[in-house]
């Protein structure tokens, strides 16, 4: 007779955020699941910055699968209160352009604010807290969890799989999900890895630091750069020819328990080939010292861990699902940390995989066809991000070209997140889980509106302009002009008169405007009542009432918990402007 404590419906290799979230979803829905983690919790992990599609994706998962704890990760207010005060707030994506040897010029930056409460703001996940929390959540729903237990092999047969570990013996499961990240065991064992077919060719050097100055202290003041949200309250991207650096502070909100800031430098390997005569630390600081304002920001920074330096960051797999197995996105492919696609694609795929696995277990049918959607949309998403990222590296030849190109992503983010958010709002109204099926139907599949024919046509035209520039057929000004024509022709850019979006004004550096409650109201009203017919009824199907209800709920919950931050939450709903950064972060 099979040993019940060693036999499961689903085994998950890896107890990171992806594996634990899936384990919680499955266990909550009656699936017998074991998650097997090679390390322990808490443990260092990378993948810290969220984007609107990540946090709305978490809201979808929380409701569809009845795991409210996933919803706590979806906004910084609940995250810091219920999960991790050591996680940072992300009120904006800031992009500062640098030229070697020259101080940062105030007029060479762009900003994309994240959504204000109650939908946002986004977060900088302090992954060791978040992953440890989710591990416990999965256990609380009945998952079995093992730590310090590397899986060494998986043997498949017609009934399922035997999962072998060196320290805890063997386990049986009907299906195996590899959530092991880039070092995926199945990727190696089933010989799935291929030469990445991606145009992006980059590598990364990163670490966590103490003593990183808030950029607002070293950059020109707001009245010069004109961006609404303090840079240090978001993910700051330092851009330069052939590369970029992320600055992800965890110590950037009142009430933080952290003094840490994550900094990573990403380099085009054809521009900056890896050298044997430099340590990762030497190379990291050599790049910091090329740019005077970055140097000032890092002048007192001290690393708290050994530096990590990758070879080419991109990897890919020829197959993502097979007979009784599937890979989560980070076990299958990766492009680059830019635009934080990793967690967003993971949440989108968890949504698609969760109900497939639950019904496969209930019906005893794990046939591969049931899981093909997972493969199709993982691959399609990474192909899109490859174009987006690779042409971003190209765009950093000129600030104005970046300012044109990145609008494509701003627009995609708004429609991608809106598709998910309107589904959440529809569910709140109807309590009918069938509404979530819509996310797997055109034009909502995948992320970033890639499934929308108008968006796809605009994106193709913008990519063609960037390719022509890269091939030296046109100059940067012409490429920027063609991107703007594509944006205008798509008729997807919200009306400036209704919403304050300035995405069709080439000189504007805040193309989406802000996302305060007032701005969200204007956008929702435009979408629902005044947008072109191809948008109306497809996006913005829920009006402002749902958002207002959420805002009330969030404010009352802050009051009830006596966190002392209810006034701050109310402030953040109406304005991005604040001076919190003078009180937290850096050396003071
Ligand atoms: C440099 C870099 C920066 C990034 N920045 C971002 C970002 O800012 N935002 C974003 O959204 N994404 C980012 N990503 C992507 C992000 O890291 C991943 O999408 C995310 O971590 C995926 O979570 P996961 O749980 O699937 O995998 P992981 O977080 O990689 O977790 C995998 C787990 O599996 C365990 N494991 C592996 N093999 C075995 C085995 N044989 N047996 C048992 N356990 C095993 C590991 O110990 C680990 O705990 C970044 C990636 C890189 C490389």
**Residue 383 and residue 335 in contact, taking contact as beta carbons nearer than 8 Å:** no
Q: How far apart are CA 361 and CA 429, in angstroms?
A: 30
The DSSP output letter for 139 is: H
Q: How far apart are CA 305 and CA 207, in angstroms?
A: 6
- Give the model's pLDDT for residue 487: 98
Q: How far apart are CA 478 and CA 474, in angstroms?
A: 6
Mutate to test the pocket of ligand 1, among 46, 335, 378 (most ligand atoms within 8 A of CB): 46
ipTM of predicted complex: 0.99
Please name the residue whose Cα sits nearest to atom 45 of ligand 1.
14
Given the CA of residue 346, which atom of ligand 1 is nearest to it? 19
Please give the helix or strand (H or E) that residue 551 lies within, else none: helix 545-560
Mutate to test the pocket of ligand 1, among 337, 338, 378 (most ligand atoms within 8 A of CB): 337
Please name the residue whose Cα sits nearest to atom 2 of ligand 1.
337
Residue 132 CA to ligand 1 center (angstroms) comes to: 14
Q: Is residue 501 left, alpha or beta, with left meaning phi > 0 and alpha meaning psi from -120 to 50? A: beta
Q: Which residues approach ligand 1 with their CB closer than 6 A?
A: 13-19, 36-39, 45-49, 150-151, 179-181, 183, 185, 204, 206, 264, 328, 330, 337, 340, 342-344, 346
Residue 128 CA to ligand 1 center (angstroms) comes to: 11
Contacts of 147 (CB under 8 A, 6+ apart): 15, 37, 39, 40, 41, 135
- Domain match, 290 and 233 both: yes
Residue 45 CA to ligand 1 center (angstroms) comes to: 7
- Give the model's pLDDT for residue 325: 98
Q: How far apart are CA 131 and CA 137, in angstroms?
A: 10
Given the CA of residue 184, which atom of ligand 1 is nearest to it? 38
Residue 102 CA to ligand 1 center (angstroms) comes to: 36
Residue 414 CA to ligand 1 center (angstroms) comes to: 26
Structural domain of 421: 398-543
- Per the structure block, which two tokens stand in for 311? 């070879």
Task: Count Cα atoms within 13 angstroms, Cβ side, for 289.
Answer: 6
- Per the structure block, which two tokens stand in for 353? 């995989």
- Domain match, 219 and 109 both: yes
- Give the model's pLDDT for residue 1: 47
Given the CA of residue 341, which atom of ligand 1 is nearest to it? 11
Q: Is residue 147 left, alpha or beta, with left meaning phi > 0 and alpha meaning psi from -120 to 50? A: beta
C-alpha distance from residue 452 to each of 9, 91, 415 (Å): 36, 27, 9
Which residues in the chain come in under a pLDDT of 70? Answer: 1-2, 562-563, 585-588
Contacts of 225 (CB under 8 A, 6+ apart): 106, 107, 109, 219
CB atoms within 10 A of CB 155: 11
- Domain match, 503 and 557 both: no
CB burial of residue 532 (10 Å; 0-12, 13-18, 19+): exposed
Q: How far apart are CA 105 and CA 224, in angstroms?
A: 9
- Domain match, 54 and 176 both: yes
Mutate to test the pocket of ligand 1, among 12, 13, 16 (most ligand atoms within 8 A of CB): 16
The residue from 372, 394, 416 where one domain ends is: 394
Say which CATH number the domain at 256 has: 3.30.9.10
| Torsions phi, psi for 457 (to 5 deg) | -65, -40
C-alpha distance from residue 481 to each of 318, 465, 469, 477 (Å): 37, 9, 11, 6
- Domain match, 406 and 452 both: yes
Q: How far apart are CA 332 and CA 315, in angstroms?
A: 8
Given the CA of residue 235, which atom of ligand 1 is nearest to it? 8
- Domain match, 404 and 426 both: yes
Taking Cα atoms as reference points, which of 115, 144, 98, 288 lies closest to residue 205? 288
What does the pLDDT look like over 401-456, one tens digit per residue? 999 999 999 999 999 999 999 999 999 999 999 999 999 999 999 999 999 999 99
- Domain match, 248 and 340 both: no
Given the CA of residue 151, which atom of ligand 1 is nearest to it? 42
Residue 47 CA to ligand 1 center (angstroms) comes to: 7
Please name the residue whose Cα sits nearest to atom 41 of ligand 1.
151
- Give the model's pLDDT for residue 18: 98
Contacts of 255 (CB under 8 A, 6+ apart): 80, 85, 563, 565
Residue 23 CA to ligand 1 center (angstroms) comes to: 16
- Domain match, 188 and 266 both: no
Q: How far apart are CA 378 and CA 450, in angstroms?
A: 12
Mutate to test the pocket of ligand 1, among 180, 207, 235, 320 (most ligand atoms within 8 A of CB): 180
- Looking at the structure of the chain, the number of domains it has is 3
Residue 403 CA to ligand 1 center (angstroms) comes to: 30
- Domain match, 388 and 302 both: no
- Give the model's pLDDT for residue 553: 81
The residue from 394, 411, 441 where one domain ends is: 394
Residue 114 CA to ligand 1 center (angstroms) comes to: 24
- Domain match, 191 and 324 both: yes
The DSSP output letter for 267 is: E
Query: CB under 8 Å, gap of 24 or more: what pairs does 262-265 form?
Result: 262/46, 262/48, 262/124, 262/206, 262/207, 262/208, 262/209, 263/206, 263/207, 263/208, 263/209, 263/212, 263/298, 263/301, 264/204, 264/205, 264/206, 264/207, 264/337, 265/204, 265/205, 265/206
What does the pLDDT look like over 44-82, one tens digit per residue? 999 999 999 999 999 999 999 999 999 999 999 999 999
Please give the helix or strand (H or E) that residue 109 lies within, else none: strand 109-113
- Per the structure block, which two tokens stand in for 423? 């589904």
Q: Is residue 513 left, alpha or beta, with left meaning phi > 0 and alpha meaning psi from -120 to 50? A: left
Taking Cα atoms as reference points, which of 259, 250, 208, 210 lies closest to residue 232? 250
Mutate to test the pocket of ligand 1, among 40, 47, 93, 330 (most ligand atoms within 8 A of CB): 47
**Residue 194 and residue 320 in contact, taking contact as beta carbons nearer than 8 Å:** no
Residue 13 CA to ligand 1 center (angstroms) comes to: 12
- Per the structure block, which two tokens stand in for 267? 């380099």
Residue 382 CA to ligand 1 center (angstroms) comes to: 16
CB atoms within 10 A of CB 485: 14
Given the CA of residue 181, which atom of ligand 1 is nearest to it? 30
- Domain match, 356 and 207 both: no
- Domain match, 421 and 512 both: yes
The residue from 355, 371, 394 where one domain ends is: 394
Handedness of CA 344, 345, 348, 351 (dihedral sign): negative
The DSSP output letter for 471 is: T
Mutate to test the pocket of ligand 1, among 17, 342, 345 (most ligand atoms within 8 A of CB): 342
Please name the residue whose Cα sits nearest to atom 29 of ligand 1.
16
């Amino acid at each position: 007779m099979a040993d019940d404590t060693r036999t499961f419906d689903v085994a998950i290799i890896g107890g990171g955020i992806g594996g634990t979230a899936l384990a919680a979803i499955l266990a909550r829905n009656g699936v017998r699941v074991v998650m097997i983690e090679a390390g322990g919790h808490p443990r260092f992990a990378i993948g810290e910055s969220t984007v609107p599609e990540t946090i709305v994706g978490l809201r979808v998962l929380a409701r569809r699968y009845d795991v409210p704890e996933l919803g706590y990760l979806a906004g910084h207010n609940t995250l810091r209160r219920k999960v991790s005060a050591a996680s940072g707030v992300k009120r904006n994506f800031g992009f500062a352009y640098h030229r070697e040897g020259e101080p940062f010029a105030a007029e060479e930056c762009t900003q994309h604010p994240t959504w204000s409460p109650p939908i946002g703001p986004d977060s900088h996940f302090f992954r060791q807290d978040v992953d440890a929390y989710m591990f416990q959540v999965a256990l609380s729903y009945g998952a079995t969890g093992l730590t310090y237990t590397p899986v060494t092999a998986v043997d498949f047969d017609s009934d399922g799989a035997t999962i072998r570990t060196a320290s805890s013996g063997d386990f049986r499961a009907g299906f195996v999900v590899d959530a092991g990240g880039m070092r995926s065991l199945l990727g190696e064992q089933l010989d799935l890895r291929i030469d990445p077919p991606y145009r992006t060719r980059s590598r990364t050097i990163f670490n966590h630091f103490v003593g990183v100055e808030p950029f607002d202290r070293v950059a020109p003041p707001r009245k010069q750069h004109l961006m609404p949200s303090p840079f240090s309250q978001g993910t700051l991207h330092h851009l330069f020819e052939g590369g970029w650096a992320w600055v992800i502070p965890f110590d950037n909100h009142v009430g933080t328990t952290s003094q840490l800031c994550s900094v990573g430098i990403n380099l085009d390997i054809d521009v900056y080939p890896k050298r044997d005569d430099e340590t990762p630390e030497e190379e990291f600081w050599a790049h910091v010292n090329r740019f005077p304002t970055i140097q000032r920001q890092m002048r007192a920074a001290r690393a708290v861990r050994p530096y990590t330096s990758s070879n080419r960051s991109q990897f890919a797999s020829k197959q993502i699902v097979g007979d009784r197995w599937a890979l989560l996105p980070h076990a299958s492919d990766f492009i680059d940390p830019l635009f934080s696609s990793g967690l967003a694609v993971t949440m989108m795929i968890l949504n698609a995989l969760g109900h497939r696995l639950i019904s496969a277990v209930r019906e005893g049918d794990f046939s591969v066809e049931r899981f093909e959607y997972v493969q199709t949309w993982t691959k399609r998403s990474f192909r899109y991000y490859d174009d987006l990222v690779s042409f971003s590296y190209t765009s950093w030849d000129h600030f104005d070209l970046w300012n044109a190109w990145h609008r494509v992503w701003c627009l995609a983010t708004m429609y991608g997140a809106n598709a998910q958010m309107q589904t959440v709002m529809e569910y709140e109204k109807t309590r009918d889980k069938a509404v979530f099926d819509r996310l797997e139907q055109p034009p909502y599949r995948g992320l970033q509106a890639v499934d929308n024919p108008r968006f796809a046509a605009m994106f193709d035209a913008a990519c063609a302009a960037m390719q022509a520039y890269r091939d030296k057929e046109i100059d940067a000004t012409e490429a920027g002009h063609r991107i703007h024509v594509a944006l205008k022709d798509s008729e997807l850019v919200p009306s400036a008169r209704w919403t304050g979006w300035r995405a069709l004004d080439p000189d504007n550096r805040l193309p989406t405007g802000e996302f305060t409650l007032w701005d969200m109201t204007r956008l929702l009203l435009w979408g629902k009542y005044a947008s072109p017919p191809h948008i109306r009824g497809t996006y913005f199907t829920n009006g402002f009432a749902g958002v207002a209800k959420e805002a009330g709920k969030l404010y009352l919950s802050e009051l009830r918990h006596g966190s002392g931050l209810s006034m701050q939450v109310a402030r953040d709903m109406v304005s991005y402007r604040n001076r919190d950064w003078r009180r937290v972060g850096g050396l003071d």
